[in-house]
């Protein structure tokens, strides 16, 4: 398959510059509060479930028309202010040649766990050309999206490394943390490798037209903050630094990160995603009022009556006014059982439309 990456050009993301999402990410207060949902593309949508019936998760991510269609579904349905590219944080590992599969109901499972200095030394470098299907899918999305921005994303070094080390999803990440303490040199080399791979994944998405990027550190909140600062932070910071020259807004997010919000920001992020395990008011207090925040809606409220949900949205919106700007989002991914009509109503409510 021929590879034809769009060149970096100052006008590449100009078409979305006045979109409410990009305005808010840049610290301005757009007339309409922007909203999108983590995992908006995926399991909560019947149109997604019928599309995905015949392909594995990673095959779907690598089929440009399919990945693009899945990315677009929630934008068409919910009228959210951004598309988030449909992919997976382990996709770059797969493309780099690592034996990884996403098992339904389990998560990412490695053919072989990466635990020694030799394992790390043997990891293949990810070539941007191998991500051609990703660039192609994003090109399709961007053409359809017009002035609506597409958000690219990647997994942060610690989170991706923990899948490599554990070999499968883990609740306690004991093997990863034992490697971190018992062999910090190998651990650092592994995170540096993931940081390079993640950077390549983000580069390709930005050059293909992503107007913003989000780094997901799903498991950073499992760490003692001292360990995060000592062993992890520099690697996430290197990813943010490596994509800084594109000038696209960079979001940093992880769940259960209330203790390290300031550190997530210090990695070089422009926007901090706040989960629902802390109040947005407290998060802004810790981060400072000069910061742009995203998120904080409680996914559990999606399963209550509308009045309970609407008053929660209003509370979060009011709290967000203390920040420089606030992009509405959930504090976690859309739960698979969510009624999509509720999400559509949430978007309309945030956009101030009668519902």
Closest CB to a second copy among residues 14, 178: 178
Residues 180-199 interacting with a second copy (rule: CB under 8 A): 180-182
User: Of 69 and 166, which has the nearer Cβ to a second copy?
Assistant: 166
φ, ψ at 112 (rounded to 5°)? -150, 130
The phi, psi pair for 168, rounded to 5°, reads -165, 165
Binding flag, residue 332, a second copy (CB under 8 A): yes
DSSP 204-260: HHHHTT-SEEEEE-TTGGGS-HHHIIIIIHHHHHHHHHHTGGG---EEEE-TT-GGG
- The minimum distance between CB 7 and a second copy, in angstroms, equals 43
Least distance (Å) between residue 227 CB and a second copy: 9
Distance from first CA to last CA of the chain, Å, rounded?
47
Cα 166 from Cα 91, distance rounded (Å) = 17
Among 189, 230, 277, 351, binds a second copy (CB under 8 A): 277
Does 106 contact a second copy by CB under 8 A?
no
Any contact of residue 298 with a second copy (CB under 8 A)? Answer: yes
Nearest to 82 by CA among 339, 296, 327, 263: 327
Among 172, 185, 245, 352, binds a second copy (CB under 8 A): 172
Backbone angles phi, psi at 292, to 5 degrees: -95, 130
CB of 158 to a second copy, least distance (A): 14
327 dihedral zone (left: phi>0; alpha: psi -120 to 50; beta): beta
Piece of 123-131, 152-160, 179-187, 319-327 that binds a second copy (CB under 8 A): 179-187
Encoding tokens for residue 28?
């301005």
105 touches a second copy (CB under 8 A):
no
- Among 108, 295, 299, 320, indicate the residue that binds a second copy (CB under 8 A): 299
Nearest Cα neighbor of 90 from 8, 155, 171 is 155
Which of these ranges, 15-23, 131-139, 264-272, 297-305, lies near a second copy under the rule CB under 8 A? 297-305
Q: Which stretch binds a second copy (CB under 8 A): 7-15, 47-55, 208-216, 217-225?
A: 217-225
Residue 165 makes contact with a second copy by CB under 8 A: no
Which one among 279, 342, 344, 348 touches a second copy, defined by CB under 8 A?
Answer: 279
Pairing of strands 212-216, 107-110: unpaired
Does 300 contact a second copy by CB under 8 A?
A: yes
């Amino acid at each position: 398959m021929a590879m034809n990456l769009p060149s970096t050009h100052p006008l590449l993301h100009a078409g979305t510059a006045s979109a409410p999402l990009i305005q808010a990410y840049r610290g301005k207060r757009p007339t309409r509060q922007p909203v999108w949902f983590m995992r908006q593309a995926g399991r909560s949508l019947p149109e997604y479930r019928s599309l995905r019936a015949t392909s594995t998760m990673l095959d779907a991510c690598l089929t440009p028309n399919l990945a693009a269609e899945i990315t677009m579904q929630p934008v068409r349905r919910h009228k959210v202010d951004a598309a988030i590219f449909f992919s997976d944080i382990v996709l770059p590992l797969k493309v780099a040649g690592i034996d990884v599969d996403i098992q339904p109901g389990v998560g990412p499972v490695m053919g072989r766990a990466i635990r020694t200095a030799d394992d790390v030394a043997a990891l293949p470098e990810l070539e941007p050309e191998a991500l051609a299907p990703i660039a192609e899918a994003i090109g399709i999305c961007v053409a359809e999206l017009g002035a609506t921005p597409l958000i690219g994303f990647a997994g942060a070094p610690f989170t991706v490394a923990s899948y490599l080390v554990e070999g499968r999803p883990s609740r306690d990440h004991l093997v990863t943390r034992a490697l971190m303490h018992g062999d910090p040199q190998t651990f650092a080399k592994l995170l540096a490798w993931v940081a390079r791979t993640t950077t390549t994944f983000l580069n390709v998405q930005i050059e293909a037209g992503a107007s913003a990027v989000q780094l997901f550190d799903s498991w950073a909140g499992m760490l003692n903050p001292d360990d995060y600062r000592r062993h992890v932070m520099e690697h996430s910071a290197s990813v943010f630094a490596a994509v800084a020259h594109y000038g696209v807004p960079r979001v940093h997010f992880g769940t259960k990160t209330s203790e390290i919000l300031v550190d997530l920001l210090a990695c070089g992020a422009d926007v901090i995603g706040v989960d629902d395990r802390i109040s947005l008011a407290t998060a802004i207090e810790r981060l400072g009022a000069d910061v742009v925040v995203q998120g904080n809606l409680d996914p559990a409220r999606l399963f209550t009556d509308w009045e309970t949900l609407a008053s929660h949205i209003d509370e979060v919106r009011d709290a967000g006014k203390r920040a420089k700007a606030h992009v509405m989002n959930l504090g976690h991914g859309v739960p698979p059982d969510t009624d999509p009509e509720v999400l559509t109503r949430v978007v309309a409510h945030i956009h101030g439309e009668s519902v």
